[in-house]
Amino acid sequence: MSRCYYHPASAAKWECEHCCTPLCDNCADESGSRGGPRCFQCQAELHNLGASHSAEPFWRKLSDAFRYPANAQAIVLIVLCSVGSAIAGYMPFSLIIYLLALGAILRYAFTCLKTTALGKTQPPEWNETNGGGLTLVMQLFAIALVLGVVVFAAYHYVGAGMGGFMATLSILVFPAIVILFADRDNLVEALNPLNILQLILALGTSYGVLLGMIMIMMASVEVLHSLVGEHVGFIGYILQGAISNYYLIVTFHIMGLMIFQHQGDLGYIAREDSDVHQRSDKDRHLSKIDIAVKQGDYNKAVDLYVEANSLFPQDIQFYERCFDLLCAARLKVRLEKFFPHFIHQLEKHNQTLKVYPALKKIRALLPQYCPEAPSQKLLLAQYAKRHGDPKLALQLLLDLPKSHPQFAQLNLVMRTISEAFLDIGKESQAQKAAALADKLDQKLADEKEQTQAPTRKRRVPKALKTGNQSEEWNKAESEDKLKGGQDDNGNLPPIEFKL
């Protein structure tokens, strides 16, 4: 059995002749309009292997085979044919009625064999039988007649031993003749000894298993007939006919399963109808990524994830898988660029519980990693502190007041720093940060008040109206700013904290 190159546990359904690679359904790109499925790697059209490499042996499907006729249309046909056979003995032209009933159930059984061999798992509709029941009965009678003539000739001209041998051989090859006749609709080809021998050799031991199962089912029918008995009259005949017809359909279905299993040896390709499916664009894109990963082309896989993020913006799993791949493949440069977008998506999709684990994961690969944006530094520090990691919060925030003195949320930064210092037992540092946070809160409150209040002309003190007025005023204003802890630009002085 050929296995998929990328999924060794799955049977191969396709083969890329350009790449010399067997593929399963998940590894085939069926989205294109250019013929059949194509290879994700080279875009060459794939060769269909059918189910010859994946079909389950028919003897393992016996439970399903006996449930096969349990279909509304099949049951109705079984009952009608059984009733028709039962009333034939009470009606004029009984032989014709009996042959019509027999022809209908035989034609349906042959259609079951054909459709099963093509991978259909459900019984066919009535309109698929195409009629011709009486003709089929006559053709089967002709086959039996030919076999009878051969047996009689062997017995008459060679001897009783050869006659018995030919009779046994006729019984053994009869299922093969039926299969050939169902496949080719030609009596001459079905009775050709070379065709019969070729079919039996192609089926191998499966044909022997089939013969054994047919004999067991024939014995089962006889046992059920004896249980029903003939003393119940007309109802008994109907029940016996229903049992025979039911087992007939099961037998032909099993022969179809055997042909489907050996389709590669018999020279044709078929798929189970349950195997044929059309995937969504998302699943197809995931398969393309999976192949790139298993090929070891991690950069291509990341590019496909980036493409998926634009195609499926509401699906967070592509971002999560991309992050996991970047970490596993240790693509540090791309990981550093991707991480801020990943955090943003986690926030956007309310996946905040995953932020801190993601931060720890990237810091394991990049110990000095810190995002450039001050808002993300503050966000990550707050998550780290909530998860009981104040040292990591401080590592993220301590340089922020220097690098981004104009950051609008600097008061929250200092407050977070203060709380983190307090968590690790450094109260003096915590008090210093808290004091700066209070001053920043006051500054923001004053700025808010100034923007809301009407502008008024500032009064100059009388003591400064004479003399070197501008020099004294500038001196006083500078002292006020220094007292408030600000420089000439209204910024905080350099802040030094140590862990």
Could you tell me the CATH number of the domain that includes residue 354?
Answer: 1.25.40.10
Q: Where does a domain end: 315, 340, 369?
A: 369
Q: Where does a domain end: 333, 349, 369?
A: 369
Residue 387 lies in a domain: yes
Asked if residue 206 lies in contact with residue 258, where contact means CB atoms within 8 angstroms, the answer is: yes
Q: Where does a domain end: 333, 352, 369?
A: 369
pTM, whole model, 2 decimals? 0.55
Residue 110 lies in a domain: yes
Does 26 share its domain with 73?
A: no
Residue 300 lies in a domain: yes
CA atoms of 168 and 164, how far apart (whole Å): 6
CA atoms of 271 and 163, how far apart (whole Å): 43
Would you give the distance in Å from CA 314 to the centre of its chain? 19
What pLDDT was estimated at residue 335? Answer: 92
Does 225 share its domain with 97?
A: yes
Does 338 share its domain with 433?
A: no
Q: Using the structure block, give the residue that is written with the tokens 């700066």.
A: 436
Does 191 share its domain with 309?
A: no
Residue 103 lies in a domain: yes
Would you give the distance in Å from CA 158 to the centre of its chain? 64
Does 155 share its domain with 216?
A: yes
Residue 3 lies in a domain: no
Domain with 427, as residue range(s), is: 370-449
* Residue pLDDT tens, the chain, 499 long: 577 888 877 777 777 878 888 887 778 887 765 567 788 888 787 777 766 555 667 777 888 888 888 888 889 988 988 888 888 777 777 788 888 888 888 888 888 888 888 878 888 887 777 666 678 788 888 888 888 898 889 888 888 888 888 888 988 999 999 888 888 778 888 889 998 998 888 888 888 888 988 888 888 888 877 776 655 667 777 888 888 889 899 999 988 888 887 776 665 555 554 454 567 888 888 888 888 888 888 899 999 998 988 888 888 989 999 999 999 999 999 999 999 999 999 999 998 899 999 999 999 999 998 988 999 899 999 999 999 999 998 888 888 888 888 888 888 888 888 888 888 888 888 888 888 888 887 887 777 777 765 555 445 454 434 444 444 434 434 444 434 444 444 444 445 555 5
Does 347 share its domain with 381?
A: no
CA nearest neighbour of 394 among 416, 376, 427, 425: 416
User: Which tokens go with 159?
Assistant: 């001897």
DSSP state of 45: B
Residue 460 lies in a domain: no
Residue 498 lies in a domain: no
Report which residue type is found at 182: A
User: Residues 167-222: pLDDT tens digits?
Assistant: 889 889 999 998 888 887 788 888 899 989 988 888 888 888 889 888 888 888 88
CA atoms of 88 and 97, how far apart (whole Å): 6
Residue 462 lies in a domain: no
Q: Is 193 exposed, middle or buried (0-12, 13-18, 19+ CB in 10 A)?
A: exposed
Q: Torsions phi, psi of 308, nearest 5? A: -65, -35
Cα dihedral across residues 59, 60, 61, 62: positive or negative: positive
What pLDDT was estimated at residue 5? Answer: 80
Does 183 share its domain with 204?
A: yes
Number of structural domains, the chain?
A: 4
Q: What is the CA radius of gyration of the chain?
A: 42
Does 173 share its domain with 286?
A: no
Does 71 share its domain with 203?
A: yes
Does 363 share its domain with 374?
A: no
Does 86 share its domain with 190?
A: yes
* Cβ density class 299-314: b for 16+ within 10 Å, e for less: eebbebbbebbeeeee
Does 310 share its domain with 227?
A: no
